[in-house]
Structure 1
Amino acid sequence: MIRSLHLYFYRYCLAVCCCVAFSQTANAQTDADALMIPKNFLCTGVVYTHSDWKNYWEGTFKRNNANIGTLSTNSFMAVGNYGLTNKLDILAMAPYVKTNASRGTLKGQSGVQDLTVALKYLAFISEIGKGLFSIHAIAEGSIPLTNYEPDFLPVSIGLHSKSVSLRGLLNYQTGRFFVAGAGQYILRSNITIDRNSYYTDHLIYSNEVAMPNVSNLLFSAGYRSLKLNIEGIVSHTTTQGGFDIRKNDMPFPGNRMNMTTVGGLAKYSFENVTGLELTVGGNYVVSGRNVGQSTNLFASVYYILDFSKKTK
């Protein structure tokens, strides 16, 4: 339940490695890791994710629903990242999402969801002790690409809200081991739905829904080399407001949606094909509120292109 928050986490858990900035070897990276792609390098790829759940939290009460059965979601996300300078990258991503309920009368939805564009800046980097410490700032915005319906949860493909966010990321690496932490705050715009009244904890005569903002905390640690990276990730997402799903009611875009997720990933860089990288991983929602207890699996293929001017 709640595709938008899960897609936020997919971008976090696809953080492929936090290696030393300005390394001569470019590696695929995302808006939630400490790796900067060099100037005039382009990293592009496709990410596939599968998510399914049978149990969910109705407020804090955990239950299942025979009218839903198992809710599954498959998405394909195109991603790209270009190095504007050695300290500033621009990233873009857009997913195609398809949902399905195994039982009941709810018809799954499909379509292109939101375009996300981010700027990632290496604000500080220094040797501390035997390791390297860095601070990154990431500004991000998203906008719906299609007129999909948000008021059809849990099979809706998203929440159709515009958003802007700011994330701070701290990373420390010593030898082949690292620890990293990040905090993000997301401002979300109100949305309109295809009815002229709805009920929260009181009746509202309007088609406009106030969307609460969202905060996210992330901790990761693991092993990395130029060829292999293994990483464990814990993430906690909190909605700043909203209300609980009413007993035996459908979820609503303005619900409070909290979750804690644990997972990991592994990334392999091919030596015989320069620039080709494969990442696989998964995560599991261990606790939540108004969300499904989902198991999520993902795989991505990245390829890095060098557009820098060559010198003899």
Structure 2
Amino acid sequence: MMKSLPLYFYRYCMLVCFFLAFSQLAKAQTDADALMIPKNFYCAGVVYNHSDWKDYWEGTFKRNNANIGTLSSNTYTVVGNYGLTNKLDVLFSVPYITTNASAGTLKGQHGVQDLTFTLKYLALTTEIGKGLFSVHAIASGSIPLSNYEPDFLPVSIGLHAKSVSLRALVNYQTGRFFVAGAGQYVERSDITLDRNSYYTDHLIYSNRVDMPNVSNLLFSTGYRSLQLNVEGILSQTTTQGGFDIRKNDMPFPSNKMNMTTAGGLIKYSFQSVTGLELTFGGNYVLKGRNVGQTTNLYGAVYYILDFSKKNAK
């Protein structure tokens, strides 16, 4: 069973998730699944994501705002994944984001957001009963690629903070069915604003903002074969600090942004064109704090290239 892993995982590649305030990741969260790409294989992909919300939580109070209407964003992301070894993958993503508010005077923003690099290591695989149990360690880092403005939420394209994160993932698969769980912690740098004072829950005379860190818990289960992957996903994102949006005020980068999200994806690998994959999915914010009740839909095209000295069997 262990010897068949490179062939099994050949059919799959990874999508690095991005974080955007008030928008839930396409985190079709494939930096958080148990799939690897073999050594000297490269997966290139293009991902399109659309999200929108009308209702949002101002603290714990759910409301809408006629000065915003419906807030929507479109994201076009170039992604890549290369197998350094059969147990270590390196991934990257670069998103271009546009935002728009359907009402009021807020002008939508657009631009290249953050470059994200990820190392994904298969730390352990062992057979338990009739299934395979695996443990992955995943480290990521991101840096802003443009001088976009974070102090213009909810239409900002990001928070302009550098970040590093660690994720532990466990997965158990028996036959075609699997169940997985993951925990992640994200450390974020301070950011600077284009003003010399701001108000959180008190007045601060500075242009530097102390950004709270973030934790994430994820549970997924579904069906996985060489050709078809169908997956259900439930996640909880919790900000470690921050404060609530004040009544009738704009959101702020260091707000507490918590959300519970449910979604799913379908991934199909073509038999007639080796290496070609299509992925479709979406998710919905069930409950949140200082975030929009976002509906998120995405689609992706991937193609896997073999740079090994000989073709895989």
Q: TM-score with structure 1 length normalisation?
A: 0.92
CA–CA distance in structure 2, aligned partners of residues 310 and 85 of structure 1: 15
The runs of at least 4 aligned residues of structure 1 exceeding 6 Å deviation read none
Judged with a 3 Å threshold, the aligned counterparts in structure 2 of structure 1 residues 294 and 117 are, in CA distance, closer, same or farther, namely same
Is 1:28 matched up with 2:13? yes
The answer for the alignment partner of 1:290 in structure 2 is 290
5 Å matches for 1:101-250? 101-250=101-250
CA drift of 1:71 comes to 0.2
Shift of 1:105: 0.1
Partner of 1:91: 91
Where 1:250 maps in the other structure, the secondary structure is: coil
CA contact (8 A) 2:9 2:35 kept: no
SS at match of 1:23: helix
Amino acid across the alignment from 2:299? A
RMSD: 1.2
Q: Which amino acid aligns with 1:272?
A: S
Q: Deviations over 1:40-68 (max 9, x none)?
A: 00001011000000000000000000000
Check conservation: 2:212, 2:254, Cα contact below 8 A.
yes
Aligned residue in 2 for 1:75: 75
Structure 2 residue 50 is the aligned partner of structure 1 residue 66? no
Query: For 1:190-228, what per-residue CA distance to the aligned partner results, in whole angstroms no more than 9, with x for missing partners?
Result: 000111000011100000000000000000000011111
Residues 8 and 226, structure 2, Cα contact 8 Å, conserved in 1? no
Cα distance in 1 for partners of 2:43, 2:68 equals 39
The answer to whether the 8 Å contact 2:261/2:285 transfers is: yes
CA contact (8 A) 1:256 1:290 kept: yes
Change (3 A) 1:102 1:311: closer
SS in structure 1 of the partner of residue 32 of structure 2: coil
User: TM-score, normalised on structure 2?
Assistant: 0.92
Residue identity in the other structure for 2:13? A
- Aligned residue pairs total 293
Deviations 1:80-129 (A, max 9, x none): 00000011110000100000000000000000000000100000000000
